[in-house]
Structure 1
Amino acid sequence: MPQILLLAAVGAIAWYGYRRLLKEAERVNARVRQAEKEAENRSTGTLVKDPVTGEYRLEKRDKTD
């Protein structure tokens, strides 16, 4: 019986890890697609509208991603 519990625990951990891997891969792919679009258009970033002032500014990116 302990072997079955251990196997179930290992399976659950593997499933969780697999799901996390898919989520991270999708995040990276989205970032690469965005960078490809910017390179194709020769742009330096994406403009976003500031809701307070109404001015457009470059999107701030997190450097750790």
Structure 2
Amino acid sequence: MGRFLVLAAIAGGGYMLYRKFINDAEALSARGEQKRAEQKNGATGTLVKDPVTGEYRVKKAD
């Protein structure tokens, strides 16, 4: 029974690390696509609308 719990903990930890890796890779890919799109059209940043004030501002890098 103890071996099963250790194996389950290792498998769960491995799955969590795998999901973290996939999420980070997707975020990196999206940032790269955004940069390529900005370079293609000569933009210096992406504008986003502030829902409270209604003003546009340059999107901050996360």
TM-score calculated relative to the size of structure 2: 0.78
Task: Report percent identity of matched pairs.
Answer: 46
Return the alpha-carbon distance in structure 2 between the equivalents of residues 12 and 57 of structure 1. Answer: 41
Partner residue of 1:59? 59
User: Offset of 1:50 from its aligned partner?
Assistant: 4.1
Alpha carbon RMSD of aligned pairs, Å?
A: 1.7
Structure 2 residue ranges without an equivalent (≥5)? none
1:46 paired with 2:50, answer no
Q: 1:50 to 1:12 in 2, by over 3 A?
A: closer
Partner residue of 2:3? 3
User: Offset of 1:56 from its aligned partner?
Assistant: 3.4
Partner residue of 1:29? 29
Aligned residues: 61
Letter of the structure 1 residue corresponding to residue 20 of structure 2 = R
Structure 1 residue ranges without an equivalent (≥5)? none
